[in-house]
Structure 1
């Protein structure tokens, strides 16, 4: 019956865009003349390449239009939602009675009642009733369009439970963030802030006394400029890298970076600038990882 259900969508449904794709996906799982189907939001999102929220809105639109009905008192395989195509079911019943195939009264009272016993073979059952025993599942009719090959082992193959709640809206938004899978939150160097533990480390190691407050700020600014082009890292990695940079920072370089125009005792301004340039040779090159 899935073919008849799809034909009805192509010929009679007024749904457009994502709603039409959702309707066709639901029609693919119609098993008999009752036009009852089942699907989960995640599977519909994967089939239509839309987000879960978009699929949910499309279903609400189809329900309001009368082309789709959600049977909340029934449940499908693995707890999936059960739907019915009432207008298609009424059109099929009218045709069987010798009518014009859906060109009749448009009220839903003409829809034939459900026969729950016939839905058992599609693993559709009343909510609260357990699924068929394992021994009875082999006699159930397979999902329309599915292969009769031996099923794959559990936890194998593709799964659609990882579809994000908001989903993808355009091609610039990745389906799943697979670039960093370590579990720790990552951020660019520009967004990392010096944490209290690092503040304590700076004072205990004497770097604040060695560089001064302005020198430490200048070292921080240079570190961020050198790390701006690097990929995001966890905050702990940036903290370790920042400490290593500060530990190698030269006091004379810091004095020149913060604009200290006063030359050390016994040195002219030109000699002070020369000393600062020579000290810069000992600075980190910015290629550390």
Structure 2
């Protein structure tokens, strides 16, 4: 699920009531930061615990408000509608306080009164006693460990990528509309390469090329894959000589043979 997409709903969405619950249910289904997910009405009814008519009305309201969009031409594995949360794209949730302080656990604790790198039993040091505390109880359970691992992976991925340059916004939007979600994990130089291809061939050509390599409902491909695919547009095959090129040579050969035959006929 995309925790960033859910955080956007909690902190930025203007939806209320059932519409807000429907938007949260769809955001919870987003597999990555492309903020695209399939969701059927039956599933939304089960997750929101609302009447079917209320869910349908909520989806219509979200579509009218622009916080939700249907990805045309794409369907889920059982024919579900594929939705896109356009305003949640690029949203990054703020780092929780426990993550900011967790860096203190990575080094030894300076404690001149003890040789061990831990405080005396019953005492806790660091900001609000958190820095040197060994997690116990519910926070040390497998769910909490998974949450910490997921957060660390997302933060590491963001640290190695550049924000999408504004020039690629139309391409990103056209790809999303065509049902081709892209993981934009590119450096600035690679994004400039994509922009050069857009200038050389146009957005429609890049989207058309990507559509030939996309299966409805497939997992989003990384932008580096599409950069290689689009690079083929610069390597169009050279034109081969056709019949028009060979025709003058054939005509001259036939004329020469005819002249030779006429000379033989005139000089027996």
The alignment's TM-score, normalised by the length of structure 1, stands at 0.35
Higher helix share: 2
For the pair shown, the structure with the greater C-alpha radius of gyration is 1
The alignment's TM-score, normalised by the length of structure 2, stands at 0.38
